[in-house]
Amino acid sequence: MPLKHLATLLCALSPTVALSQDAVQDILLSVPQAEKIREWSHYYTNGSHLSGQGLEQGQWTKDLWEGFGIQANLTTHEANLTYPGDHRVALLDLNLKDPLVQEARRIEDTAPGAGPGQKPFIPSFFAWAGVGNVTAQYVFANFGLREDYDDLLNANVTVRGRIAVVKTVFGSSLLRKLHMGVHRQEQMQVAAEYGLAGLIVYTDPQLDGELTEANGYEAFPDGPARPPSMIERGVMSFAGSTFAIPAMPIAFADAIPILRALNGYGPSATEFGERWQGGGLNYKDVHYNVGPSPNNIVLNLCNKPIFPDGQVHHVIGTIPGSTFPDEVIMLGTHRDSWSPGAGDGSSGSSALNEVARSFGTALAQGWAPSRTIILASFEGVEFSLPGTQDWWEQNHWLNTSAFAYLNVVSAGAGSKFHVQGSPLLGRAMRYGTGLVLDPNINANNQTMLDVWDGEVSIGTGGDASVLLGTELLSSVDFGFSAGEGDPPFPYHSLYDTDEWMDCYGDPNREYHLTTTKIWSLAVFALANDVLIPVTTNEYAVLLQGSLESVDMPGLHISSMENAINDLHQATLTFDTYADNLGSQILAQPDEPKLLSKAREVNQKYIKIERIFADPHPQSSSDRHLIIPRVPYYFQSSAFPALQESIAAGNLSAAEIYRDRIVGRIQEVVALLALEGTKIRPKSLLHVTEPEELSIISRCCSLQFSIRG
């Protein structure tokens, strides 16, 4: 039975008993338990559950949700998979009779084994890296950015035909400071563009602040420092496509002899700029010379994975809406992990189970949301598989029915809270964070809203990357990740375990619980009120604030400024209309004409994000003209295609994207125009102080009973 018809049928069959907003809030705040989160996490982390291995855990999750009183089903999708095959990273001295100097390990020391009857965890590799076996001289190329290779070329260091050894970019505070955050996929792309023969990526202790072995801290499991044998796995391209050059991840313990062999060869990193400074292996006698290595010192890099056909499995739970069953609020996470995944993957899955249990408790006591809620446990994101998109396309009715998707990957992998995605969800997120206390022991009863700035940052994450970046569904990704001073998070490694979480990540699962409660409450806010709680002016504020990053000689942006000014006025007018309508509905909740107007407003909210789709995208996966597909640990700017054109120095392309953006903004203005109103351009650059305060106040309103 199609999901849409199922929701309608369940709505018709489900008796509803009025349950007050306060009563539901109390349930959502009181039901989640730390021990339950531990229980769910222990199950998910007990064996390998990489993409394509998720049938058993999917069936278990489905049964669990049904036990909570939530209708659930398991969907299956064909997928191209990739798993380890023949791989090697070896340091060779060709002048020796036995040339092998060092061969990098493929799996961490003292790595946890799988539980009885469970699949073993896989050795390290990069999904969708190029296939090949190369032996060549090598260079140290810092983070492997374009700027790094340009520095090498300017220093007369040849890179073409050589293997590059680079630091991982995940969690680099230096790159964030320099506004240069990239994904490993870009490291791969850039290496191929510059003619490298291969790429080797290691995790430098530079990432870890004070908590390093060099500063006297023991490595996990004996202390909080990063284990020398930790290997960061990951995806290098989109499913089914590979780059021309091979790549492999290695531990910094195995990078040490490789980097030492460059000592005295080529310039030192100290001779370059700030971006090259701060390497964390000096205490191991690594001088960070860039090379190239001498003729006899080479690396052998082999990457020959296997590519079996397989399946991924999603668990879809449905809570039918009582008033607007054809309007949908979604929440979810990905169930697959590169490793045990206590922090990345399984923490989000464990929190989602507690959200499901909380909603099930409220349902059992008579609550029914106004609109339909869909819970999703997806599989395949770690391989960039299209399973989420396949599921969406099979439920195409969601294109005109779904308003939002709230995603959590890392519910409690540290103390730093992030919210990233569409500004249309800012109001709901402020509602949720305003009711939940900060778990920090020094917070003095502050709410999470008190410590969060209340602004949704630009970007996406997890399955929100697909649903926002490709399908233009208003989405956010939020949760807790490692912050400054936190123990290093063993990202995508076999040390991402319950043991690490118990010792250093979130010992009491307080951050997990905080995420769970915010998640439940934000979804409740979006699903329960007659009018979806949205402040459309937040989009205008985002666009205006992003204009300063649009800077290119010869590119005139007055048309963008005018369009955004029009949007500013249109959204303020529309938000006032919606607030007044909400007040009327509170006074006459059963008035058919008011409910009809509410449907019209909600449909406009559903359409806004979709309007920003690029009609001619360079990539079918990157369709959003405003919000880039980058995860929470990157700092990024709005207008991704426009910014890419500016970075490439392509004025003609920049003008095309400018005009597309202007056209889409004008479409939103037309969508929000009310009968009898006329939009007159008004510059946001000259907004008076009272108006600025009014905008901020409107954006930060928490009067959910009136509309958020």
Q: What CATH number is attached to the domain comprising 158? A: 3.50.30.30
Element (H, E) at 374: strand 371-378
For residue 98, with 0-12 CB atoms within 10 Å meaning exposed, 13-18 middle and 19 or more buried, which class applies?
exposed
Give me the pLDDT at residue 629, please.
86
Give me the pLDDT at residue 620, please.
77
Q: What is the mean pLDDT of residues 42-69?
A: 97
Distance between CA atoms of residues 541 and 564, nearest Å: 9
Give me the pLDDT at residue 388, please.
87
Query: Are 592 and 695 found together in one domain?
Result: yes
Kindly report which listed range (10-14, 203-207, 216-220, 613-617) carries the lowest average pLDDT score. Answer: 10-14
Quick check: is 707 in a domain? no
Quick check: is 75 in a domain? yes
Query: Are 515 and 545 found together in one domain?
Result: no
Q: Is residue 139 within 8 Å of residue 152, measured between CB atoms?
A: yes
Q: What is the mean pLDDT of residues 102-118?
A: 91
Count other C-beta atoms under 10 Å from residue 93's C-beta. 17
DSSP line for 669-684: HHHHPPTT-------G
Pick the residue with more confidence: 634 or 87? Answer: 87
Query: Are 123 and 246 found together in one domain?
Result: yes
Q: What is the 3-state secondary structure (H, E, C) of 508-521?
A: CCHHHHHHHHHHHH
Query: Residue 194: is its pLDDT beyond 50?
Result: yes
Directed axis angle between helix 592-611 and helix 558-587, to 10°?
160
| DSSP letter (8 states) at residue 432 | H
Give me the pLDDT at residue 132, please.
96
Number of domains forming the structure of the chain: 3
Quick check: is 240 in a domain? yes
Query: Which 3 state secondary structure label does DSSP give 437?
Result: strand
Distance between CA atoms of residues 351 and 523, nearest Å: 14
Query: Are 457 and 598 found together in one domain?
Result: no
Query: Residue 694: is its pLDDT beyond 60?
Result: no
Query: Are 16 and 94 found together in one domain?
Result: no
Query: Residue 357: is its pLDDT beyond 80?
Result: yes
Directed axis angle between helix 34-44 and helix 510-528, to 10°?
100
Return left, alpha or beta for 676; rule: phi > 0 is left, psi -120 to 50 is alpha, else beta: left
Residue 449 CA neighbour count, 13 Å, CB half: 16
Q: What is the mean pLDDT of residues 193-222?
A: 96
Distance between CA atoms of residues 448 and 700, nearest Å: 14
Query: Are 457 and 560 found together in one domain?
Result: no
Give me the pLDDT at residue 238, please.
65
Directed axis angle between helix 55-67 and helix 346-364, to 10°?
20
Kindly report which listed range (169-183, 305-319, 609-623) carries the lowest average pLDDT score. Answer: 169-183
Beta-carbon contacts of residue 297 (< 8 Å; ≥ 6 apart)? 91, 92, 93, 94, 137, 261
Query: Token pair 């955050």 is at which residue?
Result: 181
Please give the structure tokens belonging to residue 570.
């249109």
Beta-carbon contacts of residue 696 (< 8 Å; ≥ 6 apart)? none
Kindly report which listed range (149-163, 204-218, 383-397, 542-556) carries the lowest average pLDDT score. Answer: 383-397
Structural domain span for residue 243: 83-306
Quick check: is 705 in a domain? no
CATH code, domain with 430? 3.40.630.10
Give me the pLDDT at residue 689, please.
31
Q: What is the mean pLDDT of residues 17-23?
A: 84
CA dihedral over 537, 539, 544, 545, signed as positive or negative: positive
Query: Residue 507: is its pLDDT beyond 50?
Result: yes
Query: Are 486 and 501 found together in one domain?
Result: yes
- Cα dihedral 522, 524, 526, 532, rounded to 10, equals -130
CA dihedral over 342, 347, 353, 358, signed as positive or negative: positive
* Whole-number percent of the chain with pLDDT over 90: 81
Give me the pLDDT at residue 666, please.
98
Quick check: is 575 in a domain? yes
Using 50, 70 and 90 to split pLDDT, how confident is the model at 67? very high
Query: Residue 708: is its pLDDT beyond 90?
Result: no
> Comparing C-alpha atoms, which of 317, 333, 525 is closest to residue 424?
525
Side by side, which strands form the sheet with 309-319?
71-80, 309-319, 371-378, 324-334, 402-407, 474-481, 416-421
Query: Are 207 and 320 found together in one domain?
Result: no
Torsion angles phi and psi, residue 19, rounded to 5: -130, 125
Query: Are 377 and 285 found together in one domain?
Result: no
Report the residue count for the chain: 708
Type of residue numbered 650: N
Query: Are 181 and 258 found together in one domain?
Result: yes
Query: Which 3 state secondary structure label does DSSP give 151?
Result: helix
CATH code, domain with 627? 1.20.930.40
Q: What is the mean pLDDT of residues 493-507?
A: 97
The last residue of one of the domains, among 266, 284, 306, is 306
Give me the pLDDT at residue 242, please.
65
Quick check: is 489 in a domain? yes
Quick check: is 329 in a domain? yes
Give me the pLDDT at residue 461, please.
87
Using 50, 70 and 90 to split pLDDT, how confident is the model at 435? very high
Kindly report which listed range (275-279, 535-539, 628-632) carries the lowest average pLDDT score. Answer: 628-632
Residues linked to residue 92 through DSSP beta bridges, in sequence order: 100, 298
Query: Residue 654: is its pLDDT beyond 70?
Result: yes
DSSP line for 616-632: S-SBTTB-BSSS----T
Q: Are strands 416-421 and 324-334 parallel, antiparallel or unpaired?
A: unpaired
Quick check: is 33 in a domain? yes
Type of residue numbered 256: I
Q: Are strands 297-306 and 132-136 parallel, antiparallel or unpaired?
A: antiparallel
Please give the structure tokens belonging to residue 216.
């006297």
Using 50, 70 and 90 to split pLDDT, how confident is the model at 181? low
Using 50, 70 and 90 to split pLDDT, how confident is the model at 635? low
pTM of structure: 0.91
Beta-carbon contacts of residue 651 (< 8 Å; ≥ 6 apart)? 552, 554, 555, 645
The last residue of one of the domains, among 306, 324, 346, is 306
What does the mean pLDDT of the chain come to?
Answer: 91
Distance between CA atoms of residues 484 and 633, nearest Å: 13
First to last CA, the chain: 34
Query: Are 37 and 15 found together in one domain?
Result: yes
The last residue of one of the domains, among 306, 329, 364, is 306
Kindly report, residue by residue over 575-591, the tens digit of the pLDDT.
Answer: 999 999 999 999 999 99
Query: Are 256 and 365 found together in one domain?
Result: no
Kindly report, residue by residue over 668-690, the tens digit of the pLDDT.
Answer: 999 999 875 554 444 333 333 33
Q: What is the mean pLDDT of residues 532-548?
A: 97
Kindly report which listed range (51-60, 62-71, 138-147, 238-247) carries the lowest average pLDDT score. Answer: 238-247
